[in-house]
Amino acid sequence: MIVAPSILSLDYGNTKEQMQVLEESNAEFIHFDVMDGHFVPNLSFGPDILKAYKKNMSKVMDVHLMVDDPKFMADIFIDAGADYITFHSEAVHEIANQVALIDHIHERGSKAGISIKPDTCVANILPVLSKVDLVLVMSVYPGFGGQSFIESSLDKIKELRKIIDDNHYDCLIEVDGGINLETGRMCTEAGVDILVAGSYTFKGDIKERVDTLWNLK
Protein backbone atom coordinates (compact mmCIF):
# COMPACT_ATOMS: atom_id res chain seq x y z
CA MET A 1 0.00 0.00 0.00
CA ILE A 2 1.21 3.50 -0.80
CA VAL A 3 1.13 5.58 2.39
CA ALA A 4 0.95 9.39 2.23
CA PRO A 5 1.39 11.07 5.62
CA SER A 6 -0.38 14.45 5.68
CA ILE A 7 2.00 16.99 7.19
CA LEU A 8 -0.99 19.06 8.32
CA SER A 9 -0.76 17.04 11.54
CA LEU A 10 3.02 17.31 11.94
CA ASP A 11 4.40 18.66 15.22
CA TYR A 12 5.72 21.96 13.83
CA GLY A 13 7.98 22.44 16.83
CA ASN A 14 9.92 19.38 15.69
CA THR A 15 9.78 19.72 11.92
CA LYS A 16 13.36 18.77 11.12
CA GLU A 17 13.37 15.69 13.32
CA GLN A 18 10.00 14.47 12.00
CA MET A 19 11.08 15.12 8.42
CA GLN A 20 14.04 12.81 9.03
CA VAL A 21 11.82 10.09 10.50
CA LEU A 22 9.43 10.36 7.53
CA GLU A 23 12.33 10.15 5.10
CA GLU A 24 13.49 6.90 6.72
CA SER A 25 9.95 5.47 6.86
CA ASN A 26 8.14 3.34 4.30
CA ALA A 27 5.92 6.27 3.29
CA GLU A 28 6.20 6.67 -0.48
CA PHE A 29 4.34 9.99 -0.75
CA ILE A 30 4.22 13.12 1.44
CA HIS A 31 0.80 14.79 1.33
CA PHE A 32 0.54 18.62 1.42
CA ASP A 33 -2.85 20.09 2.26
CA VAL A 34 -2.93 23.58 0.79
CA MET A 35 -5.84 25.68 2.11
CA ASP A 36 -6.70 29.26 1.18
CA GLY A 37 -9.26 30.18 3.86
CA HIS A 38 -11.98 30.48 1.17
CA PHE A 39 -12.53 27.08 -0.41
CA VAL A 40 -12.23 25.67 3.11
CA PRO A 41 -12.47 27.56 6.42
CA ASN A 42 -8.81 27.06 7.30
CA LEU A 43 -5.38 28.28 6.20
CA SER A 44 -2.32 26.07 5.96
CA PHE A 45 0.94 26.79 4.14
CA GLY A 46 2.55 28.16 1.02
CA PRO A 47 5.18 26.90 -1.43
CA ASP A 48 8.26 27.56 0.73
CA ILE A 49 7.23 24.72 3.03
CA LEU A 50 7.13 22.34 0.07
CA LYS A 51 10.54 23.62 -1.10
CA ALA A 52 12.05 22.74 2.28
CA TYR A 53 10.72 19.17 2.09
CA LYS A 54 11.81 18.79 -1.52
CA LYS A 55 15.33 19.85 -0.57
CA ASN A 56 15.61 17.40 2.32
CA MET A 57 13.63 14.37 1.15
CA SER A 58 13.42 11.90 -1.71
CA LYS A 59 9.67 11.17 -1.46
CA VAL A 60 6.91 11.86 -3.97
CA MET A 61 5.48 15.31 -3.21
CA ASP A 62 1.69 15.03 -3.35
CA VAL A 63 -0.06 18.43 -3.28
CA HIS A 64 -3.79 18.62 -2.51
CA LEU A 65 -5.13 22.06 -3.41
CA MET A 66 -8.17 23.04 -1.35
CA VAL A 67 -8.36 26.49 -2.92
CA ASP A 68 -10.74 28.59 -5.02
CA ASP A 69 -8.16 29.28 -7.73
CA PRO A 70 -6.27 26.02 -8.41
CA LYS A 71 -4.92 27.26 -11.76
CA PHE A 72 -3.01 30.05 -10.01
CA MET A 73 -1.83 27.80 -7.17
CA ALA A 74 -0.88 24.89 -9.42
CA ASP A 75 1.94 26.85 -11.06
CA ILE A 76 3.23 28.10 -7.72
CA PHE A 77 3.42 24.59 -6.27
CA ILE A 78 4.83 23.04 -9.46
CA ASP A 79 7.62 25.64 -9.30
CA ALA A 80 8.20 24.58 -5.68
CA GLY A 81 8.63 20.91 -6.65
CA ALA A 82 5.21 19.20 -6.62
CA ASP A 83 5.16 15.78 -8.28
CA TYR A 84 1.35 15.53 -8.14
CA ILE A 85 -1.09 18.43 -8.20
CA THR A 86 -4.64 17.50 -7.23
CA PHE A 87 -7.43 20.06 -7.51
CA HIS A 88 -11.09 19.92 -6.50
CA SER A 89 -13.77 19.34 -9.13
CA GLU A 90 -15.97 21.67 -7.05
CA ALA A 91 -13.51 24.55 -7.61
CA VAL A 92 -13.43 24.22 -11.43
CA HIS A 93 -16.98 23.97 -12.67
CA GLU A 94 -16.78 23.46 -16.43
CA ILE A 95 -15.44 20.15 -17.73
CA ALA A 96 -13.55 22.06 -20.45
CA ASN A 97 -11.78 24.09 -17.75
CA GLN A 98 -10.94 20.93 -15.79
CA VAL A 99 -9.43 19.42 -18.96
CA ALA A 100 -7.48 22.62 -19.64
CA LEU A 101 -6.04 22.60 -16.12
CA ILE A 102 -5.12 18.90 -16.32
CA ASP A 103 -3.38 19.54 -19.67
CA HIS A 104 -1.59 22.56 -18.19
CA ILE A 105 -0.31 20.56 -15.19
CA HIS A 106 0.94 17.84 -17.55
CA GLU A 107 2.64 20.38 -19.83
CA ARG A 108 4.43 21.76 -16.77
CA GLY A 109 5.78 18.26 -16.06
CA SER A 110 3.67 17.24 -13.04
CA LYS A 111 1.05 14.56 -12.61
CA ALA A 112 -2.56 15.70 -12.28
CA GLY A 113 -5.27 14.61 -9.89
CA ILE A 114 -8.92 15.49 -9.34
CA SER A 115 -10.74 15.36 -6.03
CA ILE A 116 -14.35 15.03 -4.87
CA LYS A 117 -15.79 16.16 -1.55
CA PRO A 118 -18.06 13.80 0.41
CA ASP A 119 -21.25 15.21 -1.17
CA THR A 120 -20.00 15.00 -4.76
CA CYS A 121 -20.79 11.90 -6.85
CA VAL A 122 -18.26 9.91 -8.85
CA ALA A 123 -20.39 10.62 -11.95
CA ASN A 124 -19.30 14.27 -11.83
CA ILE A 125 -15.68 13.42 -12.60
CA LEU A 126 -16.20 10.59 -15.10
CA PRO A 127 -15.57 12.87 -18.11
CA VAL A 128 -11.98 13.53 -16.98
CA LEU A 129 -11.09 10.17 -15.45
CA SER A 130 -9.19 8.99 -18.53
CA LYS A 131 -6.97 12.09 -18.36
CA VAL A 132 -5.93 12.19 -14.69
CA ASP A 133 -3.17 10.25 -12.94
CA LEU A 134 -4.96 10.25 -9.60
CA VAL A 135 -8.44 10.57 -8.17
CA LEU A 136 -8.75 11.70 -4.56
CA VAL A 137 -11.84 10.66 -2.62
CA MET A 138 -12.34 12.93 0.40
CA SER A 139 -13.62 10.80 3.26
CA VAL A 140 -14.15 13.84 5.54
CA TYR A 141 -15.28 17.39 4.77
CA PRO A 142 -12.05 19.13 3.76
CA GLY A 143 -10.50 21.73 6.03
CA PHE A 144 -9.28 20.02 9.17
CA GLY A 145 -7.40 16.93 10.32
CA GLY A 146 -8.72 14.63 13.02
CA GLN A 147 -12.29 14.09 11.75
CA SER A 148 -14.12 10.74 11.56
CA PHE A 149 -14.15 8.69 8.37
CA ILE A 150 -17.39 8.91 6.35
CA GLU A 151 -18.32 5.32 5.45
CA SER A 152 -20.15 6.15 2.21
CA SER A 153 -16.67 6.89 0.77
CA LEU A 154 -16.18 3.11 0.50
CA ASP A 155 -18.90 2.86 -2.18
CA LYS A 156 -17.20 5.62 -4.17
CA ILE A 157 -13.86 3.80 -4.00
CA LYS A 158 -15.49 0.55 -5.17
CA GLU A 159 -17.26 2.37 -8.00
CA LEU A 160 -14.04 4.04 -9.12
CA ARG A 161 -12.05 0.79 -8.87
CA LYS A 162 -14.47 -0.93 -11.23
CA ILE A 163 -14.57 1.94 -13.76
CA ILE A 164 -10.78 2.32 -13.76
CA ASP A 165 -10.18 -1.43 -14.13
CA ASP A 166 -12.91 -1.97 -16.75
CA ASN A 167 -11.55 0.87 -18.89
CA HIS A 168 -7.84 0.18 -18.20
CA TYR A 169 -7.31 3.78 -17.07
CA ASP A 170 -3.88 4.61 -15.67
CA CYS A 171 -5.21 6.32 -12.54
CA LEU A 172 -4.48 5.82 -8.85
CA ILE A 173 -7.24 6.04 -6.24
CA GLU A 174 -6.34 7.99 -3.10
CA VAL A 175 -8.48 8.38 0.02
CA ASP A 176 -8.05 11.24 2.49
CA GLY A 177 -9.61 11.82 5.91
CA GLY A 178 -10.10 9.77 9.05
CA ILE A 179 -7.71 7.01 7.99
CA ASN A 180 -6.42 4.68 10.70
CA LEU A 181 -5.68 0.96 10.72
CA GLU A 182 -9.37 0.00 10.74
CA THR A 183 -10.61 2.45 8.08
CA GLY A 184 -7.41 1.93 6.10
CA ARG A 185 -8.19 -1.79 5.94
CA MET A 186 -11.74 -1.10 4.76
CA CYS A 187 -10.45 1.21 2.02
CA THR A 188 -7.85 -1.37 0.98
CA GLU A 189 -10.59 -3.97 0.59
CA ALA A 190 -12.62 -1.46 -1.45
CA GLY A 191 -9.68 -1.10 -3.87
CA VAL A 192 -7.79 2.05 -2.92
CA ASP A 193 -4.12 2.58 -3.97
CA ILE A 194 -3.01 5.40 -1.64
CA LEU A 195 -3.92 6.04 2.00
CA VAL A 196 -3.48 9.62 3.25
CA ALA A 197 -3.10 9.69 7.03
CA GLY A 198 -2.50 12.77 9.16
CA SER A 199 -3.53 12.30 12.79
CA TYR A 200 -2.97 8.56 12.73
CA THR A 201 0.62 8.99 11.50
CA PHE A 202 1.69 11.78 13.81
CA LYS A 203 -0.19 10.95 17.03
CA GLY A 204 1.96 7.90 17.61
CA ASP A 205 5.29 6.40 16.58
CA ILE A 206 5.54 7.69 13.01
CA LYS A 207 7.51 4.79 11.54
CA GLU A 208 5.35 2.15 13.22
CA ARG A 209 2.11 3.84 12.20
CA VAL A 210 3.26 4.13 8.58
CA ASP A 211 4.23 0.46 8.61
CA THR A 212 0.81 -0.70 9.82
CA LEU A 213 -0.79 0.95 6.76
CA TRP A 214 2.05 0.04 4.40
CA ASN A 215 1.56 -3.64 5.29
CA LEU A 216 -2.12 -3.60 4.22
CA LYS A 217 -2.74 -5.61 1.04
Q: Beta-strand (E) ranges in the chain?
A: 2-5, 29-35, 60-66, 84-88, 111-116, 134-138, 172-176, 194-197
Question: Would you give the binding string for ligand DX5 spanning residues 23-42, x where CB under 6 A is met?
Answer: --------x-x---------
Task: Give the active site residue among 33, 36, 133, 193.
Answer: 33
Least Cβ distance, residue 33 to Zn ion (angstroms): 4
Region 46-65 residues binding Zn ion, contact defined as CB under 5 A: 64
Q: Is 54 helix (H, G, I), strand (E, B) or coil?
A: helix
**Residue 176 makes contact with Zn ion by CB under 5 A:** yes
**Minimum distance from residue 22 beta carbon to ligand DX5 (Å):** 14
* CA–CA distance, 7 with 10 (Å, rounded to integer): 5
Is 170 an active-site residue?
no
Quick one: CA torsion of 44, 45, 50, 56, rounded to 10 degrees? -90
Is residue 156 a contact residue for ligand DX5 (CB under 6 A)? Answer: no
Residue 169 and residue 130 in contact, taking contact as beta carbons nearer than 8 Å: yes
Strand bridging mode 60-66 / 172-176: unpaired
Rounded least distance, CB 198 to Zn ion, Å: 8
What one-character DSSP code corresponds to residue 110?
-
CB burial string 50-80: b at 16+ within 10 A, e below = bebbbeebebbbbbbbbbbebbebbbebbeb
Using the contact rule CB under 5 A, the part of the chain among 32-40, 70-78, 119-127, 155-163 near Zn ion is 32-40
> Among 92, 197, 210, 213, which residue interacts with ligand DX5 (rule: CB under 6 A)?
197
Does 33 bind Zn ion (CB under 5 A)? Our answer is yes
- Give the span between the Cα atoms of 61 and 145, in whole angstroms: 19
Binding to ligand DX5 by residue 5, rule CB under 6 A?
no
Is 155 assigned a catalytic role? no
Contacts with ligand DX5 by CB under 6 A lie at 6, 8-9, 31, 33, 64, 140, 142-147, 176-179, 196-200
Residues designated as active site: 33, 176
Contacts with Zn ion by CB under 5 A lie at 33, 64, 176
